[in-house]
């Protein structure tokens, strides 16, 4: 009955097609909050209907229409956990991530890709297309509370309503009770943890939340034994690979494997669990067009939300020694026990081995393992012939964790300054660049030119941008917060002029951290009370990406302008304790 209700909700979603550039302009004007200041050249050039119509036709030809593929691409959104801007090889040669670097070499590499300052807020923004404050205060920092109400338009319900099979592999953390799990928010299949960071080998949440400690599930049902003993990066990657293989066409281009992703994972579960999953999978079939068996499934694209737990603490890399938690070697306290025999601590370039600090070396090993998992997912796309028809968006949920107290999990290590140095001010949970400026890639082989994109983009853009790629505009149902963000598909596909970009940052408890970005300008304030105009720091991110020189005194008019824009954004937030 639950699934029947879910399907009815999905069908009621209001979807509007077309008018894409007009919509971009509307979004831009809305974001700018009216005529508070002179529109930049980009906006001025496109404010006439004639210009919009002409450009719109060109845009739709390239993006949605005759010169583009008429087949909707598969979509994979990859979010890693606490991977900072410098925790990837293409930004930092001291990090070994060859698969991500190879992906970057074929992608739009977003040099100013923003997240929110922490896990749950970023996931809300990425998944719903709204800033987390639109739903209430509960999602302004990492939270176990429900992140948004049932029925909220999100990537899964949006894409499911448009013919996609929808999958989650990995971390959810947008309401960790079963009643608010991903299986209630549009996923045909979901696998991983309801809660946030888990132990890498036991897949349990933090000990101080006993009601949420057992969290590893498939389709909302706790998996007996939590897949104990298998590294979380491998579990999440293997699930993604199963999904990709499931959607692969066979040589006759008609049939695909009828094997459900749940089947391959049955080895570690009871037969009863597997039977329940098969039943649930059938019940969760989409309402239209995908009920006729394998040949029908072959025509359905898939959406995979691939949310890795790594490289979040507790860091733990055991290799083949799965019964031995990561620990220092008593005979050589600068080395980890068995380190030389664990492949993740070793790479062909010798990059990881050359790091002298064992804690940093452990972190690099975690990144190496994560990169390997993503590489295996990409390989599955290649080998199944689906790479060219798969759009991939990659980012991290926030900046790096720098220190970790340990003891939050069994065998949890205390770590001090364990991240590689990174070039920005602040780290995880900060509104300064170090907390929110993260790696970002947009990849669609043969469609998106490989290049650097230096204009600011944000995960809150994903909903509208994906809508742009598939030619369908997501629209919030009546009574729901309007969708934030902007459609960047033209920016990636056609090298269109970057629009003026406003980004709104807010992080919650215990103190409030506030920021707003308008292109190169950024205002920041830390304090529990709502910021007044006189409270802001001001930075020029082009000249001073490290945010070292406060220009508030020098440019008072800029402060006035950005403060007014901040007030416009803040007025859209729902200032309630709960998100429900």
Contact residues for Ca ion, defined by CB under 5 A: 81-82, 119, 397-398
Q: In whole angstroms, what separates CA 251 from the centre of its chain?
A: 33
Give least dist CB 140 to Ca ion, A.
14
For 208, other C-beta atoms within 10 Å of its C-beta total 10
- Which residue lies nearer to Ca ion by CB, 10 or 398? 398
Evaluate whether 401 touches 392 at the Cβ level (below 8 Å): no
Taking the C-alpha atoms of residue 419 and residue 309, their distance in angstroms, rounded to an integer, is: 16
- Which residue lies nearer to Ca ion by CB, 87 or 371? 87
Evaluate whether 84 touches 400 at the Cβ level (below 8 Å): yes
Residue whose C-alpha is closest to residue 505's, from 561, 573, 554: 573
Evaluate whether 40 touches 498 at the Cβ level (below 8 Å): no
Tokens of 110: 């977003």
Give least dist CB 312 to Ca ion, A.
6
Give least dist CB 428 to Ca ion, A.
7
Would you put residue 186 in left (φ > 0), alpha (ψ -120 to 50) or beta? left
Q: Tell me the CB-side half-sphere exposure of residue 523, using CA atoms within 13 A.
A: 27
| Residue 406 exposed, middle or buried by CB count within 10 Å (0-12, 13-18, 19+) | middle
- Which residue lies nearer to Ca ion by CB, 81 or 473? 81
- Which residue lies nearer to Ca ion by CB, 398 or 486? 398
Identify the DSSP state of 249: B
Give least dist CB 70 to Ca ion, A.
38
Residue nearest Ca ion (C-beta atom): 119
Taking the C-alpha atoms of residue 300 and residue 64, their distance in angstroms, rounded to an integer, is: 18
Taking the C-alpha atoms of residue 76 and residue 531, their distance in angstroms, rounded to an integer, is: 38
Taking the C-alpha atoms of residue 475 and residue 28, their distance in angstroms, rounded to an integer, is: 16
- Which residue lies nearer to Ca ion by CB, 10 or 141? 141
Q: Tell me the CB-side half-sphere exposure of residue 376, using CA atoms within 13 A.
A: 17
Residue whose C-alpha is closest to residue 419's, from 459, 347, 369, 366: 366
Tell me if residue 264 falls in helix, strand or coil: helix
- Which residue lies nearer to Ca ion by CB, 63 or 436? 436
Give least dist CB 520 to Ca ion, A.
27
Give least dist CB 147 to Ca ion, A.
14
Tokens of 330: 């008593």
Q: Quote the Cα angle for 347-352-353, to 5°.
A: 90
Give least dist CB 398 to Ca ion, A.
5
H helix runs in 111-161, sequence order = 119-128, 155-160
Give least dist CB 79 to Ca ion, A.
9
- Which residue lies nearer to Ca ion by CB, 121 or 286? 121
Give least dist CB 562 to Ca ion, A.
27
Give least dist CB 328 to Ca ion, A.
26
Would you put residue 64 in left (φ > 0), alpha (ψ -120 to 50) or beta? alpha
DSSP E strand stretches across 157-292 = 165-171, 189-193, 216-218, 221-222
Give least dist CB 121 to Ca ion, A.
10
- Which residue lies nearer to Ca ion by CB, 82 or 371? 82
- Which residue lies nearer to Ca ion by CB, 81 or 484? 81
């Amino acid at each position: 009955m639950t699934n029947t209700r879910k399907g009815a909700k999905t069908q009621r979603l209001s979807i509007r097609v077309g008018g894409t550039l007009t919509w971009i302009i509307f979004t831009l004007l809305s974001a700018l909050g009216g005529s508070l200041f002179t529109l930049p050249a980009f906006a001025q050039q496109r404010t006439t209907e004639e210009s919009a119509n002409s450009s719109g036709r060109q845009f739709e030809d390239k993006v949605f229409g005759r010169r583009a593929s008429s087949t909707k691409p598969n979509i994979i959104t990859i979010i890693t956990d606490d991977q900072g801007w410098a925790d990837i090889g293409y930004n930092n040669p001291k990090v070994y991530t060859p698969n991500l670097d190879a992906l970057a070499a074929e992608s739009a590499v977003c040099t100013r890709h923003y997240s929110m300052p922490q896990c749950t807020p970023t996931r809300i923004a990425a998944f719903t297309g709204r800033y987390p404050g639109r739903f209430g205060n509960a999602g302004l920092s990492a939270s176990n509370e429900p992140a948004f109400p049932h029925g909220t338009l999100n990537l899964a319900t949006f894409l499911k309503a448009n013919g996609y099979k929808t999958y989650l592999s990995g971390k959810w953390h947008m309401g960790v009770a079963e009643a608010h799990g991903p299986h209630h928010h549009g996923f045909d299949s979901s696998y991983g943890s309801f809660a946030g960071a888990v132990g890498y080998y036991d897949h349990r949440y933090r000990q101080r939340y006993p009601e949420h400690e057992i969290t590893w599930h498939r389709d909302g049902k706790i998996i007996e034994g939590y897949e104990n003993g298998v590294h979380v990066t491998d579990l999440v990657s293997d699930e993604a690979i199963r999904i990709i293989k499931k959607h692969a066409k066979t040589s006759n281009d008609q049939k695909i494997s009828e094997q459900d992703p749940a089947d391959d994972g049955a080895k570690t579960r009871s037969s009863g669990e597997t039977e329940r999953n098969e039943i649930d999978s059938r019940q969760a079939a989409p309402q239209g067009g995908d009920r006729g068996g394998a040949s029908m499934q072959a025509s359905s694209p898939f959406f995979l939300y691939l949310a890795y737990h790594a490289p979040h603490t507790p860091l733990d890399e055991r290799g083949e020694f799965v019964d031995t938690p990561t620990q220092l070697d008593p005979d050589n306290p600068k080395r980890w026990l068995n380190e030389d025999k664990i492949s993740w601590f070793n790479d062909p370039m010798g990059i990881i081995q050359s790091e002298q600090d064992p804690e940093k070396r452990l972190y690099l090993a975690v990144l190496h393992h994560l990169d390997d998992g993503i590489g295996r997912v990409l390989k599955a796309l290649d080998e199944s012939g689906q790479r060219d028809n798969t759009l991939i968006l990659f980012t991290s949920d926030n900046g790096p964790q720098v220190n970790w107290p340990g003891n939050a999990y069994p065998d949890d290590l205390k770590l001090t300054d364990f991240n590689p140095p990174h070039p920005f001010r602040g780290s995880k949970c900060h509104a300064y660049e170090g907390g929110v400026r993260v790696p970002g890639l947009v990849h669609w082989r043969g469609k998106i030119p490989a290049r650097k994109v230096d204009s600011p983009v944000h995960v809150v853009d994903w909903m509208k941008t994906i809508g742009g790629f598939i030619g369908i505009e997501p629209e919030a149902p009546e009574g729901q917060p309007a969708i934030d963000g902007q459609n960047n598909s033209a920016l990636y596909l056609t090298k269109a002029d970057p629009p003026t970009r406003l980004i709104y940052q807010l992080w919650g408890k215990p103190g409030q951290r506030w920021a707003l970005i308008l292109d190169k300008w950024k205002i920041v304030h830390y304090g529990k009370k709502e910021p007044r105009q006189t409270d802001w720091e001001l930075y020029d991110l082009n000249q001073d990406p490290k945010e070292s020189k406060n220009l508030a005194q020098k440019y008072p008019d800029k402060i006035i302008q950005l403060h007014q824009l901040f007030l416009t954004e803040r007025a859209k937030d729902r200032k309630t304790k709960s998100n429900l």
